[in-house]
Structure formats: structure tokens, C-alpha cells
Amino acid sequence: MSQVLRPRRVGVFGGAFDPPHQAHVALARAALAQLGLDELRIFPTGDAWHKTRRLSAASDRLAMARLAFEGLPGAVVDERELSREGPSYTIDTLEALAAEAPGAEFVLLMGGDQWAAFTGWHRWQDIATRARLCVLARPGSAEALPAGLAPPLQLVLPPMDVSATALREALADGHLSPEEQARLLPEAVARYISTHGLYGHPQPGLTAPHA
């Protein structure tokens, strides 16, 4: 019986993951389940050229990404963008992956906010040639198809109103209830944030200094 061999299909998912939250994990899980991926590579960004604020330490974001995605078979956290000098450009990562796996197909995953801004990405036409794009709609982000791009693949998943920015703010303000925390953050990530006192989150066991 002849066997049809198809190219290896690799998902590529980059982000600041500052911190990684449940929408990231849901997106990764849906991509693995719905796109026939052989592997999903997850890239915490180094110097995120499109973010104006300073990111948390690379070591913390890497550790949290590993904790967030460790339960997903086929997901691999790849740290190469963290050690790259200069801005983290997706095209550099795609070219490196293509050189390592000739013949592989790549699917680049992103949320609707990134899709809406995609034609501002460095060498976006080359990215669109190298990879199929797959978008998860995000509440509040535009749905329009940027000119010159084919419609992307879409994941079947209800939109999730969660962002790392809102989480950082809620953690800093101490406004994140245990229920909200459990809903929005993977448990191991919440524990890491608490243990390491990230985002202004009070560290357990620390008492206020005496005046």
C-alpha cells in the first residue's frame, strides 16, 4: 500500500509572554488540535521591537513560558530569540527554522491585534511567503484583511478577553481575586509570579520592615 508523505508542519508562536496567560495556552492547544501540527515552537521574544515598555527579565519570561506550555504534547519552548542580539524579527526565526528543516511547512500563529498590525512587521511579505498565517480573533481588535494578504487560517475558539497588560496591572494593584487568577493564569505561572515577586506582586513570607 502506498503511503502519502506530507511535509512536516510546524507551528510558530511568538510573544513577550510577560506573563503567559490562559489565552496563550488556549491558542496553542487549539493550534495543535486543529492545524495538524507535528510540532508547535513557542518563542519568547528578546528585544520586542514593537513594544515600547521594558519587558521583564528574559530568564523569568522563559521560565514562565516553560511552565505555561509544559503540559501540551508537541509544544516546545525555543529560547533562541532571547539570546539574539538586536531586535527580534520573526522573519529571522522563520529563515533559521526553514534552514534546519528543509521541506517543512510553517504556520505562524498570532492574535487579531498582531494581524491588524501585520503589514508593519519587518519584511512582512517574506513572512507571508514563508508561512501560512493563522489568526485567533481578539476582542477589540480589527478584523479587516490587510491589503495584499490572502485570508489567514482561523482557529475555532471563542474570543478571550485577557491580556498580559491587564494582568500586570491587576497584579500590581493587588486587584486580582483568586478566582480571576485561576481563570486567567496557568496555576504554575501564578505560583512563579508569587514566589518571585513579579509585577509588584507581594512575595509570600515577606513582612513589612519596621520603621
**Alpha-carbon span 3 to 130, nearest angstrom:** 26
Footprint of ligand ATP on residues 120-159 (CB under 6 A)? 136, 138
**Alpha-carbon span 33 to 37, nearest angstrom:** 8
Q: Decide: is 199 part of the binding site for ligand ATP (CB under 6 A).
A: no
Q: Between 24 and 130, whose beta carbon lies closer to ligand ATP?
A: 24
Q: Decide: is 113 part of the binding site for ligand ATP (CB under 6 A).
A: yes
Which residues are paired to 13 by β-bridges?
A: 42, 109
H or E segment at 114? helix 112-116
Distance from chain centroid for Cα 23? 9
Q: Decide: is 160 part of the binding site for ligand ATP (CB under 6 A).
A: yes
Cβ atoms of 88 and 109 closer than 8 Å:
no
Q: Between 3 and 65, whose beta carbon lies closer to ligand ATP?
A: 65
Q: Decide: is 111 part of the binding site for ligand ATP (CB under 6 A).
A: yes
Q: Between 158 and 209, whose beta carbon lies closer to ligand ATP?
A: 158
**Binding-site string for ligand ATP from residue 24 to residue 63, where x marks contact by CB under 6 A and - marks none:** x--x------------------------------------
**Alpha-carbon span 6 to 28, nearest angstrom:** 22
